[in-house]
């Protein structure tokens, strides 16, 4: 069936461009440089040697295949009931008239905030389904936390948990979604691929999205000038998308990427699994101070995730939701004046205190000048040494903290940490299980 898109289809031609492919087994310093460049230039990158065991991925794929292979009469037993979005859905994307050529299942990803809707969905599935989902969510949540800490390190933030703490919060609003795009029958008379959309153009509202799909094509990302780039994926790769919240936190330095999925023109089904990393509903979102300066004015207002989420889902899929939370020109000027005024006052006070102390210690102007120069030089050298020490310690601590950095795919340390029968990596307070199960699932 041909389905109209929710917004006019941009027809600027697609073009194959080298999409960033990042190897997670690189050292943290090099890794942070590559990830930051990808987030700035594309808002997207592919991840290899991520360390998530193939066993965890395969079990999740088997569970997904089993669910979508059920008769429609079975799947609708766990359908989403508005206003709750959680459960099974077919064709409808949200509640505002957007449609696509797919079916899906949406679950909450945090055990401590899991509502009855999600519990009802998984309770109606075999035990292996619940265990597969739980193990997979824990693995990708740990991976996401590590990536966010690498980002914080690369941005020279004093606290590397600035971003990761948002999804490690016990009340994180993260969710997990699986999309299934059925293959076409050979005898069907379908419209040309260029005119069919499986899932319309949009950006993700959360912080990060971690996507894993099979090798059936369809995913496309958009460059800033509107060029669509087809994304080829390998079954062992992950795709990482910058979301709206991360764009706000970095004051626009990272851009949330607009993407879409073309209708499946293969006779094989396309399946994609997405972990949407989100803060708690009451978390305040605003540009972090390190991203604002006289040369980088504040671009976004402050808001809670709940406010943004409600606004985002009240709009159509293809709308530029983040634009509704940008500062207007007068607000930007006021923010900048306040910040500049505080900075100038602080500098003037320091200068006056420095002059008073220097006059007492030195009577001659030449001696005063020499004293200034020696004092400033010593402070500069001490500051540089301290920065070097802190950076070295940060890389060392982060390397020890994130098991994925110690090996490639299926690496020993990560494999043990992600193994449901062994010791799992603690991810905040939510390490007890993404869906309340866990322990002996693997």
Give domain limits for the chain: 21-327+402-432
What is the average per-residue pLDDT within 99-114?
76
What is the average per-residue pLDDT within 395-422?
39
As annotated, the active-site residues are 270
User: pLDDT of 409-442, one tens digit each?
Assistant: 333 333 333 333 333 333 333 333 333 333 445 4
Q: Could you give the C-alpha distances from 120 to 81, 87, 108, 116, in angstroms and in order? A: 12, 9, 12, 6
Q: Write phi, then psi, for 296 (nearest 5 degrees).
A: -135, 85
What is the average per-residue pLDDT within 243-252?
98
pLDDT at 440: 44
Decide if 279 contacts 172 (C-beta within 8 A).
yes
What is the average per-residue pLDDT within 186-205?
73
Decide if 66 contacts 126 (C-beta within 8 A).
yes
d(CA 184, CA 83): 32
Candidate from 24-33, 59-68, 82-91, 190-199 with smallest mean pLDDT: 190-199
Class of residue 322 by CB neighbours under 10 A (exposed 0-12, middle 13-18, buried 19+):
buried
- pLDDT classification of 377: cutoffs 50, 70, 90: very low
d(CA 328, CA 326): 6
d(CA 25, CA 51): 8
pLDDT at 205: 95
- pLDDT classification of 401: cutoffs 50, 70, 90: very low
pLDDT at 55: 95
- pLDDT classification of 320: cutoffs 50, 70, 90: confident
Candidate from 57-61, 212-216, 393-397, 406-410 with smallest mean pLDDT: 406-410
Q: How many CB atoms lie within 10 A of CB 213?
A: 23
261 forms beta bridges with 199, 219
| Kind and range of the H or E run holding 360 | helix 329-361
pLDDT at 398: 53
Q: Could you give the C-alpha distances from 27 to 105, 210, 236, 241, 397, in angstroms and in order? A: 37, 21, 21, 22, 12
- pLDDT classification of 110: cutoffs 50, 70, 90: confident
Give strand ranges (E) for 303-379.
303-304
Does residue 406 surpass a pLDDT of 70?
no
Percent of the chain predicted with pLDDT > 70: 64
pLDDT at 15: 54
- pLDDT classification of 363: cutoffs 50, 70, 90: very low
* Mean pLDDT of the chain, nearest integer: 76
Return the structure tokens found at 226. Answer: 């509107």
- pLDDT classification of 329: cutoffs 50, 70, 90: low
Does residue 289 surpass a pLDDT of 80?
yes
CATH value of 21-327+402-432 in 2.40.270.10, 3.40.50.720, 3.40.50.880, 2.60.120.330: 2.60.120.330
Q: How many residues does the chain have?
A: 442
């Amino acid at each position: 069936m041909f389905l109209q898109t929710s917004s006019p289809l941009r027809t600027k031609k697609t073009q194959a461009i080298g999409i960033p492919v990042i190897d997670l087994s690189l050292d943290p310093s090099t890794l942070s440089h590559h990830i930051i460049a990808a987030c700035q230039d594309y808002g997207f990158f592919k991840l290899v040697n991520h360390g998530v065991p193939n066993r965890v991925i395969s079990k999740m794929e088997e569970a997904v295949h089993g669910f979508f292979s059920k008769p429609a009469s079975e799947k609708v037993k766990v359908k989403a009931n508005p206003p709750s979005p959680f459960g099974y859905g077919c064709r409808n994307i949200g509640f505002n008239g957007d449609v696509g050529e797919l079916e899906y299942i949406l679950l909450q990803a945090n055990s401590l905030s899991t509502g009855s809707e999600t519990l009802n969905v998984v309770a109606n599935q075999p035990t292996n389904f619940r265990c597969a989902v739980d193990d997979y969510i824990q693995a990708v949540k740990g991976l996401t936390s590590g990536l966010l800490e690498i980002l914080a390190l690369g941005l020279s933030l004093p606290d590397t948990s600035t971003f990761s703490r948002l999804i490690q919060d016990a009340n994180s609003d993260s969710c997990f979604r699986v999309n299934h795009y059925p293959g076409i029958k050979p005898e069907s008379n379908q419209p040309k691929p260029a005119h069919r959309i499986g899932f319309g153009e949009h950006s993700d509202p959360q912080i990060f999205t971690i996507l894993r799909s099979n090798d059936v094509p369809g995913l496309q990302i958009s460059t800033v000038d509107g060029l669509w780039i087809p994304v080829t994926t390998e079954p062992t790769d992950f795709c990482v998308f910058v979301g709206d919240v991360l764009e706000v936190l970095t004051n626009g330095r990272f851009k949330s990427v607009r993407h879409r999925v073309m209708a499946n023109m293969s006779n094989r089904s396309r399946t994609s699994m997405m972990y949407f990393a989100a803060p708690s509903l009451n978390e305040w979102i605003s540009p972090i101070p390190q991203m604002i300066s006289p040369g980088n004015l504040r671009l976004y207002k402050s808001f809670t995730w709940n406010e943004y989420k409600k606004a985002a889902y009240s709009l159509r899929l293809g709308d530029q939701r983040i634009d509704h939370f940008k500062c207007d020109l007068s607000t930007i000027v006021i923010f900048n004046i306040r910040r500049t005024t505080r900075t100038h006052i602080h500098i003037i006070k320091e200068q006056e205190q420095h002059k008073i102390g220097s006059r007492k210690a030195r009577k001659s102007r030449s001696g005063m000048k020499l004293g200034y120069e020696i004092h400033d030089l010593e402070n500069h050298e001490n500051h540089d040494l301290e920065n070097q020490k802190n950076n070295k310690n940060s890389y060392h601590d982060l390397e020890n903290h994130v098991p994925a950095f110690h090996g490639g795919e299926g690496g020993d340390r990560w494999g043990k940490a992600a193994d449901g029968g062994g010791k799992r990596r603690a991810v905040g307070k939510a390490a007890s299980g993404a869906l309340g199960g866990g322990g002996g699932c693997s």
